[in-house]
Amino acid sequence: VFNSEKDVIDFLWRVRTADEIMNKFKVSSENLEELLKSIGAKKSHRLFKQEDQKTRAYLLVPYVGDAKPREKVWSVARSSIGQPTLGIIFPPELNWSKMRIVFFGNLEFGGKCDEALLEERINWIASVPHVFAIFNGDCFARKIDEGLGSAVNRFRYKIAPIAHKVLWMQQGCNEEFWTKKNKGIDVLEQVCADLNIEYFTGGQVHAEIHWTSHKVFTFFCLHGTSVAEKKGSKLNAALRPFSWLEHTCYVIVSHMTDSMFKKVERFKRDQLNLNLVSAKQFLVIAPSLGKYFGTASAKKGYEPPYRGQINAALYSSGDYHLYSGGKALNLKEITFEQIVGGDDNG
């Protein structure tokens, strides 16, 4: 039975349906809405709500201060028919010779995420104007070591300083798992809506970046479902989209809690001059920030995954490359055919 707002807050540390709350505290639907609105108005907790034809569900997340994102320097356009496409337009007057796009794979936040490594990446992205980021799913761990509300709140405030530099995020298998478990509330979608970050579900994103040149930089991001553990099997799984994709500058795959990269050449017809032009493509398995020890791979004796960062370098001339580094400020150009193994620097 309802005694105080604290009782409701304690009950909504995880997602609850309206029926569960009303049965627990013996309140009507109208009184429930008023009660939750009054809690939200005090700014001690932020209220997440999901509603469909059959049910309403709620989650209260502790509010620990203001962390509003800064204004973006770029604009977006999305498909008008619901396809997972995204156009990103940067103004040509930006005084940059290049920009970098950092790829994030499985963060596993709230579980085995190496938060010190994540903070290093975030600090670098926040401090350099021409560095941006893409999050390719599984931002949250499937097994969270704290309350879900606490993990969501901490993740939001980790990401907030670079929210204006995150080009998009997409749902991974872990977010899909939590959405089903939490009666339809996708907590990553809620965070993205709060921070004005473009968000996609369905496993794929087809994006393009327009900047100074006539060249359009194209991206295909697939979260993936492969459970491959050996390097060759991971690479074969990541190469699968090349059988049906048109030429794409960067093909980014994750879910495999490892990282590899490879340059793939593809011929394009120059129908005006009757030439076959070689066009480079970069395959990337986005780095995981999950810790190694204690995982299934560690128990089976597989080598530690590469956890250095990998980023795309887009040049104002229209050229594009791929770079990697063990630490955010220690970058080197990759040997494209090299398959990366373990990273001693973590």
**pLDDT, tens digit, for every residue of 107-129?**
889 888 888 888 888 888 988 89
**pLDDT, tens digit, for every residue of 231-253?**
666 677 777 887 788 889 999 98
CB 267 within 8 A of CB 275: no
> Phi and psi at residue 219, in whole multiples of 5°?
-135, 140
> Phi and psi at residue 272, in whole multiples of 5°?
-70, -45
Predicted confidence at residue 228, as pLDDT, reads 62
Task: Kindly give the parts of the chain with pLDDT less than 70.
Answer: 1-3, 13, 43, 52-53, 62-69, 183, 225-234, 256-259, 305-307, 325-346
Please state, in angstroms and rounded to a whole number, the distance separating the CA atoms of residues 151 and 257: 20
Q: Which segments within the chain are labelled E, that is strand? A: 16-17, 45-51, 56-62, 75-78, 85-89, 98-104, 131-135, 166-170, 199-200, 204-210, 216-222, 250-253, 260-270, 275-285, 309-315, 320-325, 331-333
Count the Cβ atoms, other than its own, within 10 Å of residue 326. 15
CB 289 within 8 A of CB 107: yes
Predicted confidence at residue 339, as pLDDT, reads 29
Helix (H) or strand (E) holding 187: helix 187-195
Q: How many residues does the chain have?
A: 346
The label of the residue with tokens 């991974």 reads 172
